[in-house]
């Protein structure tokens, strides 16, 4: 893609009214939301610096941490594969698919949750050309897949569309009556995709973070599709960029606090999963992809590998706001995309980096403080390594037009000599005077670039240096000395930076304040709390079920008094059954400052009870509420698969409109038990 | 008498000499002697930002040599040029220990104009007067590159007779970005349109900036659109009595 082609795409994007509307509303909501989300994290500045240091350490010692991860994950029973490029990664996927013992006539069905690595290697295309059906299950990804498009944003793939586009699409492809009602559209997708989850032979996901010292990995989704594809099919393949590592669970707790706020303006993503082992009768594979990352790591663009793929820089970027993701012609768009596309995929993406005013909004938004303007300038300076041996030779100023290059080269020569510089100022003055003898501004035609939207002020005949030389123009004030005492008065300005607030009540030792914080946060994320006691628990639940007319529940064993349930006419299942609407589990713990509960795998299809049902009832002891994620995260270590659930399943993939209940339960009730 | 060097910047030198004069006046009034090193030209930011580092090196070396012959702090009426001198030069010379240490030594002497007044001299009231409404656009390199925002606002807040109104969406880039605005005029034009729209929403006749690049760009856009608003450098407001 050369600069002219890129500019043509820029013009097309700007002229697309629908796109501009969608992007403007994305920008405004995301920016406001992110600021609000960080208000609940008073020490975010310190966290951001710690996060930067952690990522720097991981990337610096990547080989060590990768080896540690591979050893631990293998011990956990996960099969690890390494792929040096896209072709190898695809080959590995096809081999795993081929080994699932299906007959040649029966092609497997693959359910996929969002993975940017799979986009990077163009996996869907490769699978489809083998006749394998692969279905994207993130609502936004599903929409773009139906449109035969690529995601327009790493977090919100359908950010470029308005609800009318989705309405028309579902009407045409899914045969439903035309409707712009977002809950109806979401429900339609849920029904279609539920069938896919239940029948898929293989689930494919990405990896948000892998943890070196536990050999586990973390996947976050709001809709619940990530849980579905990693829990239900007998084979799970996780695709992971090789830099996606953290050292330990403490690192993870910190990163998660930044990731969710930056990506989706939440305190924690609804389903924050930590997977350590395969479930019973399940195969788990991780494919670790290099595809240029090793090269990038040894280049001056190394810092770009610190990225945690939150998309905050896209939302903050005024260029992205005009273009959306597609104009970049790379799976990775926005500021980070303009750096790593050149770094990973080669020099044809260098022109992307020239489309930036270096305004720094991206760096400011980055939760791990990547100096993106510096990275963009390094790409411009030809420092994206083309091969492992050499930097791009003679490629400084990549993506610049020859006109600008010629002008800058000449100007730089002139600027090395004072007299030549002063002389050129005179020529420039004469030039603009000739073009515009009667006005202070010169009109330049659009093709000059400058004249596209503005006039050029006339150079002055008498420059500052001329005046200085004359020694006349500069009036030397000797009187009217400002009273320095007054001006040195203590500044009353309090500034924007508020003092870090005192720690929240949730971090105190008082359990009642933890409970009230938990209740407050859970309500904020659309969850509900039912207060009860140990003795009343079963009757409370019976009352709830009867009020809903529910006669059958998927129940985790040893949570409720099953005799009482059966006396009340409620039948119990200890196995997953898609027909059951209500699931009851015991939560391992609660997290006060995010309103989350922890669920793990266990007897009686416990994970499915909080996933496949429409209503999830979780029993939580008040004494098991921890102040924050970092206090609770270590509890996940002994489970095969654990998930912090923060409210009911949700999406905002259509016009950023919050819709509750996508793939996971649409209702979450936490029964808080006094003990 | 304390003295400072003025690096006037190529844009102020060539387009807005009155800004340079305003700075000299303000500093004189505060009892500070101002030197102007005649051999100074341009910091080299245009070619550096565009990625032409080999071309930038001789310009930067020239500027380092020029200021090595002088003493005292160096005052710069531009956030982006100050950023270039403080942060761009060390990046440019990162693989050249000799020039790197000379660049770092220069960087330690660099102060953006409002930063120099407020943080270094601890002056926030210049006894300035301005009749009418003012609104301030925080330029990107000043705001995010150098974290200088409190300083110009404090200085403006103490201007007698002036009513300061907040510019909506002020932290958004105006679309200049030097060569960027010529390389990608379509993008630049969109942001400029938005900036001018926000300026109009304030109903302020005057926009204050502390960066000649933004000044040229926004004023040029206003002129093209035949708008009446003016854009002035903060030094001119502060020198006004």
Asked if A82 and A166 sit in the same domain, the reply is yes
Asked if B33 and B52 sit in the same domain, the reply is yes
Chain A nearest-CA distance from B134, in A, is 18
Asked if B229 and B131 sit in the same domain, the reply is yes
Chain A nearest-CA distance from B87, in A, is 10
Of A252, A272, A293, which one is at a domain's C-terminal end? A293
Q: Does residue A360 form part of some domain?
A: no
Q: Does residue A13 form part of some domain?
A: yes
Select from B50, B187, B216 the Cβ nearest to the Cβ of A10.
B187
Asked if B172 and B192 sit in the same domain, the reply is yes
Q: Which H or E run includes A323? A: helix A318-323
- Contact, A583 vs A550, CB < 8 A? no
- Contact, A590 vs A556, CB < 8 A? no
Of B118, B135, B150, which one is at a domain's C-terminal end? B118
Number of other CB atoms surrounding residue A481 within 10 Å: 12
Q: Does residue A390 form part of some domain?
A: no
Task: Give the SS3 label for residue A77.
Answer: coil
- Contact, A41 vs A255, CB < 8 A? no
Asked if A602 and A656 sit in the same domain, the reply is yes
Task: Give CA separation, A574 vs A552, A602, A660, in Å.
Answer: 11, 11, 27
Select from B42, B140, B186 the Cβ nearest to the Cβ of A360.
B140
Q: Does residue A570 form part of some domain?
A: yes
- The Cα–Cα gap between A645 and B15 comes to 60
Show the tokens assigned to A218. 């973390």
Q: What is the pLDDT of residue B1?
A: 66
Asked if B12 and B39 sit in the same domain, the reply is yes
Asked if B52 and B136 sit in the same domain, the reply is no
Of A232, A266, A293, which one is at a domain's C-terminal end? A293
**B contacts of A7 (beta carbons < 8 Å):** 184, 186
Asked if A460 and A515 sit in the same domain, the reply is no
Q: Does residue A442 form part of some domain?
A: yes
Asked if B150 and B211 sit in the same domain, the reply is yes
**B contacts of A414 (beta carbons < 8 Å):** 41
Angle between helices A163-174 and A139-146 (to 10 degrees): 60
Q: What is the pLDDT of residue B42?
A: 98
Contact check, Cβ <8 Å, B183/A449: yes
**Sign of the CA dihedral A601, A604, A605, A607?**
negative
Q: Does residue A88 form part of some domain?
A: yes
Asked if B114 and B7 sit in the same domain, the reply is yes
Asked if A181 and A282 sit in the same domain, the reply is yes
In angstroms and rounded to an integer, the radius of gyration of the C-alpha atoms of chain A is 29
User: For chain B, what percentages of helix, strand and coil (3-state, to nearest 5) are there?
Assistant: 55, 15, 30
In angstroms and rounded to an integer, the radius of gyration of the C-alpha atoms of chain B is 18
Alpha helices in B42-166 (DSSP H): 45-50, 53-68, 79-83, 89-92, 97-107, 113-115, 140, 150-157
Residues of chain B with pLDDT under 50: none
Task: Give CA separation, A94 vs A64, A100, A117, A129, in Å.
Answer: 29, 10, 16, 11
Q: What is the pLDDT of residue A469?
A: 86
Asked if B101 and B23 sit in the same domain, the reply is yes
Asked if B41 and B144 sit in the same domain, the reply is no
Asked if A462 and A536 sit in the same domain, the reply is no
Of B80, B96, B118, which one is at a domain's C-terminal end? B118
Its ipTM equals 0.97
- The Cα–Cα gap between B49 and A397 comes to 9
Asked if A443 and A509 sit in the same domain, the reply is no
Contact check, Cβ <8 Å, B221/A453: yes
Q: How many domains does chain B have?
A: 2
**DSSP string covering A520-545, please?**
HHHHHTT-EEEEEETTTHHHHHHHHH
Q: What is the pLDDT of residue A511?
A: 82
Asked if B150 and B234 sit in the same domain, the reply is yes
Number of other CB atoms surrounding residue B74 within 10 Å: 22
Contact check, Cβ <8 Å, B30/A481: yes
Q: Does residue A62 form part of some domain?
A: yes
Chain A nearest-CA distance from B180, in A, is 6
User: For chain A, what percentages of helix, strand and coil (3-state, to nearest 5) are there?
Assistant: 45, 15, 40
Asked if B134 and B103 sit in the same domain, the reply is no
**Residue A424 is part of which domain span?**
402-470
Select from A396, A417, A488 the Cβ nearest to the Cβ of B51.
A396
**Residue B180 is part of which domain span?**
125-239
Asked if A139 and A223 sit in the same domain, the reply is yes
Select from A363, A428, A463 the Cβ nearest to the Cβ of B144.
A363
Tell me the mean pLDDT per 10 residues along chain A, length 675.
88 94 89 90 95 98 98 98 98 94 80 96 95 95 95 91 94 96 95 95 98 98 96 97 98 97 95 97 97 95 97 96 95 97 92 97 97 97 70 74 95 97 96 94 95 97 92 46 36 33 41 94 97 95 96 95 95 93 97 97 91 97 96 92 97 90 95 93
Asked if A271 and A418 sit in the same domain, the reply is no
Number of other CB atoms surrounding residue A443 within 10 Å: 13
CATH assignment of the domain containing A70: 3.40.50.10420
For strands A441-442 and A456-457, give the pairing: antiparallel
Q: In what order do the strands lie in the sheet with A641-645?
A: A245-246, A209-211, A216-221, A271-275, A641-645, A596-600, A589-591, A625-626
Q: How many domains does chain A have?
A: 3
Contact check, Cβ <8 Å, A449/B181: yes
Asked if A464 and A549 sit in the same domain, the reply is no
CB within 8 A of A153, min separation 6: which ones? A26, A159, A160, A311, A314, A324, A325, A333
Q: Residue A176: exposed, middle, or buried by beta-carbon count in 10 A (0-12, 13-18, 19+)?
A: middle
**B contacts of A477 (beta carbons < 8 Å):** 25, 28-29
Q: What is the pLDDT of residue A387?
A: 54
**A contacts of B91 (beta carbons < 8 Å):** 374, 377
- Contact, A308 vs A255, CB < 8 A? yes
- The Cα–Cα gap between A240 and A73 comes to 13
CATH assignment of the domain containing B185: 3.40.50
- Contact, A360 vs B138, CB < 8 A? no
Select from A355, A401, A477 the Cβ nearest to the Cβ of B28.
A477
Chain A interface test: which of B45, B59, B186, B240 (most A C-beta within 10 Å) = B186
Asked if A431 and A576 sit in the same domain, the reply is no
Asked if A69 and A188 sit in the same domain, the reply is yes
Chain B nearest-CA distance from A369, in A, is 12
- The Cα–Cα gap between A618 and A598 comes to 10
Q: Does residue A131 form part of some domain?
A: yes
Contact check, Cβ <8 Å, B62/A319: no
Contact check, Cβ <8 Å, B221/A454: yes
Q: Phi and psi dihedrals of B177, rounded to 5?
A: 60, 25
Asked if A43 and A191 sit in the same domain, the reply is yes
C-alpha angle A89-A279-A250 in degrees, rounded to nearest 5: 80
Chain A interface test: which of B87, B183, B216 (most A C-beta within 10 Å) = B183
- Contact, B53 vs A381, CB < 8 A? yes
Of B100, B118, B136, which one is at a domain's C-terminal end? B118
């Amino acid at each position: 893609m050369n600069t002219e082609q890129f500019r043509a795409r820029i013009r097309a994007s700007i002229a697309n009214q629908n796109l501009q509307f969608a992007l403007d509303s994305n920008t405004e909501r995301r920016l406001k939301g992110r600021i609000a989300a960080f208000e609940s994290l008073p020490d975010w500045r310190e966290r951001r610096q710690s996060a930067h240091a952690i990522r720097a350490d991981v990337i610096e010692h990547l080989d060590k941490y990768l080896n540690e991860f591979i050893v631990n994950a293998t011990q956990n029973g996960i099969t690890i594969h390494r792929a040096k490029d896209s072709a190898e990664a695809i080959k590995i996927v096809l081999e795993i698919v081929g080994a699932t013992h299906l007959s040649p006539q029966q092609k497997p069905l693959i359910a996929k949750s969002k993975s940017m690595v799979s986009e990077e290697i163009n996996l869907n295309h490769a699978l489809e050309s083998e006749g394998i059906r692969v279905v994207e299950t993130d609502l936004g990804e599903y929409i773009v897949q139906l449109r035969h498009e690529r995601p327009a944003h790493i977090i919100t793939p359908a950010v470029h569309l308005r609800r009318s586009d989705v309405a028309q699409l579902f009407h045409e492809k899914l045969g439903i009556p035309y409707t712009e009602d977002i809950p109806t559209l979401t429900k339609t997708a849920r029904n279609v995709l539920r069938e896919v989850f239940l029948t898929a032979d293989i689930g494919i996901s990405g990896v948000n973070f892998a943890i070196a010292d536990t050999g586990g990995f973390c996947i976050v989704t709001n809709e619940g599709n990530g849980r579905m594809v990693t829990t239900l099919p007998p084979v799970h393949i996780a695709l992971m960029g090789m830099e996606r590592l953290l050292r330990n669970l403490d690192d993870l707790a910190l990163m998660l606090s930044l990731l969710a706020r930056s990506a989706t303006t939440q305190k924690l993503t609804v389903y924050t999963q930590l997977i350590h082992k395969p479930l019973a009768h399940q195969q788990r594979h991780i494919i670790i992809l290099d595809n240029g990352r090793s090269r990038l790591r040894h280049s001056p663009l190394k810092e770009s590998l610190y990225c945690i793929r939150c998309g905050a820089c896209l939302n903050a970027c005024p260029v992205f706001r005009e273009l959306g993701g597609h104009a970049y012609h790379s799976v990775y768009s926005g500021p980070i995309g303009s750096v790593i596309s050149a770094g990973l995929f080669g020099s044809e993406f260098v022109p992307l980096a020239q489309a930036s005013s270096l305004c720094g909004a991206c760096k400011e938004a980055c939760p791990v403080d990547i100096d993106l303007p510096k990275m963009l300038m390094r790409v411009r300076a030809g420092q994206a390594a083309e091969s492992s041996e050499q930097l791009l030779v003679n490629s400084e100023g990549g993506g610049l037009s020859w006109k600008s290059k010629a002008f800058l080269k000449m100007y730089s020569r002139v600027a090395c000599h004072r007299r030549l510089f002063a002389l050129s100022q005179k020529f420039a003055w004469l030039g603009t005077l000739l073009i515009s003898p009667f006005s202070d501004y010169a009109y330049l035609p659009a093709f000059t670039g400058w004249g596209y939207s503005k006039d050029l002020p006339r150079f002055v005949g008498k420059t500052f240096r001329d005046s200085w030389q004359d020694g006349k123009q500069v009036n030397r004030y000797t009187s009217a000395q400002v009273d320095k005492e007054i001006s040195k008065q203590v500044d009353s300005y309090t500034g924007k930076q508020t003092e870090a607030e005192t720690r929240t009540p949730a971090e105190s030792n008082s359990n009642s304040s933890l409970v009230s914080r938990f209740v407050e946060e859970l309500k904020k994320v659309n969850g509900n709390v039912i207060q009860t006691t140990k003795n009343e628990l079963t009757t409370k639940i019976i009352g709830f079920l009867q009020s809903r007319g529910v006669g059958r529940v998927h129940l985790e064993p040893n949570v409720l008094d099953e005799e009482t349930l059966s006396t009340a006419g409620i039948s119990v299942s200890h196995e997953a059954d898609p027909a059951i609407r209500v699931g009851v589990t015991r939560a391992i713990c609660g997290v006060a400052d995010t309103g989350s509960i922890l669920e793990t795998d266990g007897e009686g299809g416990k994970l499915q009870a909080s996933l496949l049902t429409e209503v999830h009832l979780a029993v939580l002891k008040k004494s098991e509420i921890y102040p924050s994620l970092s206090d609770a995260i270590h509890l996940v270590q002994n489970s095969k698969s654990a998930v912090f659930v923060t409210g009911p399943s949700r999406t905002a993939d259509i016009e950023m409109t919050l819709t509750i209940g996508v793939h996971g339960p649409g209702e979450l009730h936490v029964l808080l038990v006094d003990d | 008498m304390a003295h400072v060097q003025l690096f006037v910047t190529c844009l102020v030198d060539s387009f807005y000499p009155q800004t340079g004069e305003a700075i000299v006046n303000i500093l004189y009034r505060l009892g500070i002697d101002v030197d102007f090193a005649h051999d100074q030209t341009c910091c080299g930011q245009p070619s550096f930002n565009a990625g032409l580092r080999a071309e930038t090196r001789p310009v930067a070396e020239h500027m380092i040599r020029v200021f090595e012959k002088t003493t005292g702090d160096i005052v710069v009426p531009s956030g982006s040029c100050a950023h270039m001198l403080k942060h761009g030069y060390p990046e440019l010379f990162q693989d050249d220990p000799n020039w790197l240490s000379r660049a770092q030594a220069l960087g330690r002497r660099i102060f953006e104009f409002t930063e120099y007044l407020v943080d270094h001299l601890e002056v926030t009231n210049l006894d300035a007067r301005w009749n009418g409404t003012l609104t301030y656009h925080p330029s990107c390199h000043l705001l995010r590159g150098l974290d200088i925002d409190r300083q110009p606002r404090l200085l403006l807040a103490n201007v007698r007779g002036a009513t300061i109104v907040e510019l909506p969406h002020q932290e958004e880039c105006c679309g200049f970005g030097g060569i960027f605005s010529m390389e990608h005029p379509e993008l630049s034009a969109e942001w400029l349109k938005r900036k001018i729209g926000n300026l109009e929403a304030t109903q302020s006749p005057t926009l204050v900036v502390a960066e000649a690049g933004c000044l040229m760009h926004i004023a040029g856009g206003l002129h093209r659109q035949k708008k009446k608003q003016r854009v002035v450098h903060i030094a001119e407001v502060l020198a006004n009595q």
